[in-house]
Structures are given as C-alpha cells and as structure tokens.
Structure 1
Amino acid sequence: MKQTLLIKNMVCDRCKTTIAKLLNDEGMEIESLELGKVVIKNYEGIDEAKLEKILNEKGFELIKDTSGILIEKIKISMIKRITKNDTDKILSEVAQELGKTYSLISKVFSKSEGITLEKYLINLKIEKVKEQIQLNQLNFSEIAYSFNYNNSSHLAKQFKSVTGMSMSEYRKLQNWDRKGLDQIV
C-alpha cells in the first residue's frame, strides 16, 4: 500500500538525501521524493512510532495536521526562493503558489510559529546575508542588491536589528554564528 508522508524540516537537497537513506535503511521503497514530501510504495507494516523516532533523531518530524502542512509548504517555498536570491515580491508569490490568500497564510503562520511572515523573511534573508559575508565574494552594496534591498544602509539596519552587530563587525568574527535555514523558526 502506498503512503504519502509529509516531513517537517526537509528543506534542501541534503535533507532529501538524508531522508532517502533513513527510509531505505528501514526497508522502505521510495516512489517519489521532493522537499517536505515522500511517497512510500510499501508502507504496510511500518512501525510509525519507530519511524517518527528515526526522523526526530535527524531533526525531522512527520506532519499530521493541516495547519502544520501549510506551515511547512510556506517555509519550503520561501527557503527555495531565498536560496535562489528570488526575494522580490516573495510573500505574494508564496501565497499565489499555495493557492491561498496572503492574509490567510500570514494569520496561520503567525499563530503557529509565533513570528510574522515578514519577520521570518527578514531572518531568512539575514542568514543568507551572513553566508555571503562569510564567503567574502561581494561587497555590502552588492549583497544588498542581490537580496533586492533598495540600498546597503537598509540592509545594514536590518542586519544590526537581527544580529545586534554591524555587517563589518560580523565579517571580523572568527566564529560566525550561523543557523540552518530550517532552524530559523
């Protein structure tokens, strides 16, 4: 019997590889695998409690409620866009992609995660900005432009608001305090 599993925190290709290995190690045959979702061909007889434990050990969770499913779809869509630096009109595009109104996804997200979609987007951007600073390939103006900021001072203000330090101070750090994008909320 086929079963579709929705999995929280599966937000990148490495996550997909990890999930595939975990499920294959448990003898499950994967029919399809995409971010946040896997279809298992031979699901009958699977110990769901054991599966949840295995997933939890690697930072993943099975999603069972409709609100959780929508939240994960929102996060995956936003992370995909941030990863591609496709941040122009991201919130309205995510709502359109999910076939929901912005008002609805904003309300559900805020209620569930305790943070607004706008703040979540800023936090995602700042994590990607940290990555760009660490790579040291672009100056601050180029980084601001790549994330659709009007100017570098707007980015600098948001960066300081989120991290408590300037981008220059962050660049000088020996130990960068970075989070995985799936760890933002």
Structure 2
Amino acid sequence: MLDAQTIATVKATIPLLVETGPKLTAHFYDRMFTHNPELKEIFNMSNQRNGDQREALFNAIAAYASNIENLPALLPAVEKIAQKHTSFQIKPEQYNIVGTHLLATLDEMFNPGQEVLDAWGKAYGVLANVFIHREAEIYHENASKDGGWEGTRPFRIVAKTPRSALITSFE
C-alpha cells in the first residue's frame, strides 16, 4: 500500500499531467524506443505514428493518478490491458524498463525533484505489481486449459487461405 504522503504527492502532479497531455507519453515512447529498440516489435507502430498509443497511455496514467486511492475503480481497465499484455507475452522484467523510462521522462520534462520521483516510483511499483500478478494468473489459466501453453511454441501450417487483401487464414 502507498502511504498518505506518496498519494498526496502523486495527486498533486495531476494538473501538470493534464496540462502536458500526450506530449508526456510521446517523450516517454521516444525515450524508451531509443534505449530499448527491441520493444518496437511488441508495439503497433501505426498506433505510435498516429498517436493512439500515446493517448491511451496518457489516459491510463492520468486515470491511475486520479484513482490512486480507489484502485478497484481501475480493475476493468487493468483486466483489458492485462489481457492484451499476455497476448504479446509481456514479462515482469519489462515493467522495470517502463518504470525506468517513466521516471526519467518525468524528470526530463518537469524536473520535479526527488520527492515527486520517489512518489511516482512507489506508485508505479504498486501498479506494475497489480499487472504482474494478474498477468501471471492469465498465463497460468491459459496454460491450464486443454491444449493450452505458456510462451511460444511451434505450429505446423498446412494451408493458407487469403480471405481479403489484409486477412489470411492459417490452418
């Protein structure tokens, strides 16, 4: 759990986040992809170019800051994001990468001081753990299903059927 001072410090940054908007997450993604280009393979780069991903992450950060005292309000969004994360095989160690670049982005854009960075570090850690635990449950549920598995596995494709200019079925 987060202490009252951490919660108050994070909530005090909400006006700054709102004022900055998706410029915050644009800086974050530019920074993260520069330092971790391998992560580009995970993200839909069309959504990066058109701003959809920046907007989605900004909205998630703002919602978390606004509901930091009421995490159950975020559970429907957490579930949707966790399902998507598991479809891309996101691993717990990748949350450290995101946390590092989130805090560096806050520092580079706002120079808010160590107290704010520490508060956001703690707050991010709590949220990351929520995702890590839910995603572990999803991985386990999927692996426990008949024919289920975790991670990647080879498949043999016996037929490819074009369904449209953009869609192909694999059998």
Instruction: Please indicate, yes or no, whether the TM-score normalized by the shorter chain is above 0.5.
Output: no
Whose helix fraction is larger, Structure 1's or Structure 2's? 2
TM-score (norm 1): 0.28
Flag the structure with more relative contact order, 1 or 2, with Cα contacts below 8 A and sequence separation at least 6: 2
TM-score (norm 2): 0.29
